């Protein structure tokens, strides 16, 4: 899962938005860790569930947003998501269905699932 994230990073434009769909425990954060490595981020990448987002600097600036805890439009507006989307930064969004209306049409959408113990499935939508 990490290796695939790193490989995808090499193919993404600088301002890409990656939307990661999947239930809890399907590897979204693990995928994002690989994506960050592929973007040259040396920092430890963790889930931003409680902070909502983390910003990382590497060869490319990278924002990891976890929308799981967002409950209403006011909370989404407070994120200033449009600033992230207008920036030249790569943005990865876990639980994108919570902010679907705000995401660009050209977002790379991935569906993550577990097929069997230790076996993950990642589908490009």
CB atoms near residue 66 (< 10 Å): 23
Are 62 and 41 in contact, with CB atoms under 8 Å apart?
yes
pLDDT score for 16 = 95
Give the span between the Cα atoms of 17 and 14, in whole angstroms.
9
Give the span between the Cα atoms of 122 and 125, in whole angstroms.
9
Q: What mean pLDDT do residues 69-88 have?
A: 82
Q: Where are the domains of the chain?
A: 2-119
pLDDT score for 15 = 92
Instruction: For domain 2-119, give its CATH number from 2.40.50.100, 3.40.190.290, 3.40.50.620, 3.40.50.300.
Output: 3.40.50.300
pLDDT score for 5 = 95
pLDDT band at 72 (very low <50, low <70, confident <90, very high): confident
pLDDT band at 62 (very low <50, low <70, confident <90, very high): very high
Residue 44 per-residue DSSP state: P
Q: What is the pLDDT of residues 3-15, one digit of tens each?
A: 999 999 999 998 9
Burial 70-99 (b: 16+ CB within 10 A, else e): beeeeebeebebeebbeeebbbbbbbbebb
């Amino acid at each position: 899962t990490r290796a695939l994230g790193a490989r995808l990073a090499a193919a993404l434009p600088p301002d890409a938005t990656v939307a990661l769909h999947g239930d809890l425990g399907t590897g979204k954060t693990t995928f994002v860790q690989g994506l960050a490595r592929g973007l040259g981020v040396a920092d430890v990448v963790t889930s931003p569930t409680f902070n909502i987002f983390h910003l990382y600097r590497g060869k490319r600036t990278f924002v990891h947003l976890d929308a799981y805890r967002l409950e209403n439009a006011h909370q989404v507006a407070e994120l200033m998501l449009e600033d992230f989307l207008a920036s030249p930064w790569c943005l990865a969004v876990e639980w994108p269905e919570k902010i679907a209306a705000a995401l660009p049409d050209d977002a790379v959408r991935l569906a993550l699932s577990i097929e069997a113990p230790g076996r993950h499935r990642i589908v490009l939508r």
